[in-house]
Chain A
Amino acid sequence: MQQQFFLERNHPTFQPGSFASVNRPLLPHTASAVSISHFINNGNSNGSANARDMYGFRKQSQYITASEYDKWFASYEKYMHRRRRKWEALIRDSGIEFGEDGVPLAFPRKSKLVKRYVRKGIPVDWRGAAWFWYAKGPEYLKKNPGLYERLWTRGMSSPPVDSELIERDLHRTFPDNIHFRNTDQPPVNSGSPATTPGSTKSSGSNSRRNSAAPETRIVQSLRRVLYAFSLYVPKTGYCQSLNFLAGLLLLFMEEEKAFWMLVIITQKYLPGVHEINLEGANIDQGVLMMCVRESLPIVWNKIGAGIDGYLRDDMVVRLPPITLCTAAWFMSGFIGVLPIETVVRVWDCFFYEDSKVFFRIALTIFKLSERQIESVRDPMETFQIVQTTPKQLLDASSVIQSCFRRHNGFGHISQEEIDNRRRFVADRRRHVGVMTSSDILADELDSQLPSSSLPGHTSGRQKRFAGIASSGFESRKAAEDRIQMLRMGSMNMLSLNARNDYFSPPSSSRSVSGASSPAV
């Protein structure tokens, strides 16, 4: 049985959202079973007629055509087959039994070999189980029996404060995936009642939709998971992007496990990233910017040092605008950023190796965009490149290979290193945060500074600020840079006194002064 290629089996893992009770095992769900077997039977022989991938997503995107997808998948499918055989041997050699569903009952202890196997991809129908296993999900489940069911039951009868936000996003989660929105059924036009049990708030937000297809089971699971999560972790509540994380998890595991994975991701892997002030996200972006600066100086010159007014030692506090893009990468675990197969391959490594994987993947994306970024003249194009490059990275294996290639410049970024840097950035941001309420100052400065300040002229405010800013001596230019910096960022700032040992002495004055020296 295990020797069979996964696609030839009608595996329950791929009948997502198919259970009413969270404690019951997965039951077959006709609609999705049909779509899977349709893929199995016709996927290859009739590739172009089949618009969906094995997960139910549309193969075609704005950046990838269906035929590009089919071409890639033809060889990827063989690759998956080979890897699966290797995994089966590994599991047997480890003395691990298979369950009735063909999924191993446990996974091998961590080792170099297993890490290599994981990096090469976990068999698709074991994936949920392996993620759960390596994330230590079973421990959470064991410690909290029945908790999930109690939480969602409570959530349904008295919806959490975030329920309205959740409801708004339920139908905006993977609308292109057949399991989330069944396009075979035509949308019912307006006025269809909300199907949320016990939620009065949500019926309001649902009814504003002008069209609503009947809710799929996985969407109902998604609602329960998000309601339960928002009750269980109130300091995070519901954060947009959790819908995508939970949604993808639900394609691979039953909802109680998906719930615990969401808890584990937000507490262990990406601490604080989804919390109300998003400080964890900002911290991680500070860490990422440090890594980019060290490992990819060409990129950094465009996205960081090349930006007016960004003084290097403030970059973890005053994040460069590119972090508006990259923060979303982390928050949504690259969903919607990378093609879905690449996402799940990244997640394989992520749950096994921890969050350093996200940092390294982000660096890989920058690395793969390096040439293009280097050649742009209009810096706004950098945003375009950083936004579109990852969407084209269909070849999951080569992305993973570039990520973990030796001597790629960021192999030294270990989990310990990431954790240290997270502490460093957090401390620094905290330190700076208490020093001043910067936005007020920044705004004051903004309103004081003439829009076209002439060279040589320094306003009183600028002088004063230069005085605050400098520890001793600071040129007008530098002061102006700082003011510029105040104007541009959103975060608390003025890490002006602290020395940052992570950073080498400034050497980027070329681009900075090139950028802001007043012409004529």
Chain B
Amino acid sequence: MAVARDSTSSTRFAQFKLVLLGESAVGKSSLVLRFVKDQFDDYRESTIGAAFLTQTIALDESTTIKFEIWDTAGQERYKSLAPMYYRNANCAVVVYDITQAASLDKAKSWVKELQRQANENIIIALAGNKLDLDGKRQVETAAAEAYASESGLLFFETSAKSGENVTELFTAIAKRLPLETASSRQRTAPKGVDLSRPNRRAPAASNNGCTC
């Protein structure tokens, strides 16, 4: 619906590609499911390859953000496919499991890879998931937070199960996204994002009528 309103002159609409990365079984798909459908399954099937989802949020009265979300498989060998996900991503959520210290190490290596390889302006958020299992915590909040701030990442501890901080996480990302750039990028030849938008003839008029 937000999409439909975007042609009016008082609303801004922007679309961003978001990729989820992190060790397997840290809760990437569950975070997306909570964000997109506000659901949670104690038992989620492991993700093979990739799943694609979208979610639109209203950032404020006049700004609507659509996330194109690529949820990825966590196993190491799928890493060879990862550049295909993140090359044109505007934002990334790197997830670890607060009850698994090793998963933070993995998250750090993803962050490093993104900072080296992905779009220069990519917004990266670090999410320590499974906050509902606080009793089994292995990663201290302060340590992860310190790492995140020195690496320039957004940081949240989340629980896909309880929903805690999930919307907050995605909203914070949305707020950080360069709206002007994104909008203008939609009109002009987009840089990387454009694998998602090859054909700009028709949509340019109807879908990307941002007014900035």
Contact = CB atoms under 8 A, between A and B. Distances in A.
Q: A and B bound?
A: yes
Contacts of A165: 24, 75
22 contacts: A168-B25, A169-B25, A169-B46, A172-B45, A175-B41, A175-B43, A175-B45, A241-B48, A276-B77, A277-B80, A328-B48, A377-B207, A380-B196, A387-B52, A487-B88, A488-B192, A490-B80, A490-B81, A514-B198, A515-B199, A515-B200, A516-B194
A208 B100 contact: yes
A241 B132 CA distance: 28
B49 A331 contact: yes
Interface of A: 165, 168-169, 171-176, 181, 187, 190, 205, 208, 210-211, 239-241, 243-244, 276-278, 302, 306-309, 319, 321, 323-325, 327-328, 331-332, 336, 377-380, 383-384, 387, 439, 443, 447, 451-452, 484, 487-491, 511, 514-520
B20 to A, nearest CB: 13
B54 A380 contact: yes
A187 B191 contact: no
B75 A239 contact: yes
Contacts of B45: 172-176, 244, 336
Contacts of B198: 302, 306-308, 379, 511, 514-515
The 10 A-B residue pairs with the shortest CB-CB distance, nearest first, are A328-B49, A175-B43, A490-B83, A518-B189, A515-B198, A490-B84, A324-B50, A383-B52, A306-B198, A328-B48
Interface string B32-53: 0000000001111111111110
A362 to B, nearest CB: 13
A210 B88 CA distance: 35
Nearest to A236: B77
B46 A324 contact: no
A264 B199 CA distance: 43
B200 A514 contact: yes
B195 A308 contact: yes
Nearest to A328: B49
Contacts of A278: 77-78, 80-81
Contact of B48 (A307, A331, A384, A489): A331
Nearest to A443: B117
B183 interface: no
A484 B42 CA distance: 41
Given A187-B42, A443-B116, A490-B82, A308 B194 contact: yes
Nearest to A305: B198
B73 A240 contact: yes
A266 to B, nearest CB: 13
Interface string B175-209: 00000000000011101101111111111101100
A172 B130 CA distance: 17
Contact of B132 (A210, A243, A336, A447): A210
A66 B198 CA distance: 38
B158 interface: no
Given A336-B45, A490-B82, A328 B194 contact: no
Contacts of B136: 190, 208
B5 interface: no
Contacts of A511: 198-199
B44 to A, nearest CB: 6
Nearest to A241: B48
A187 B161 CA distance: 15
Given A181-B43, A306-B199, A379-B196, 15 more contacts: A165-B24, A169-B25, A190-B133, A241-B48, A324-B70, A328-B50, A328-B73, A377-B206, A380-B52, A452-B188, A487-B87, A487-B88, A488-B88, A488-B195, A490-B82
Nearest to A209: B42
B140 interface: no
Given A208-B99, A321-B195, A487-B87, A171 B48 contact: no
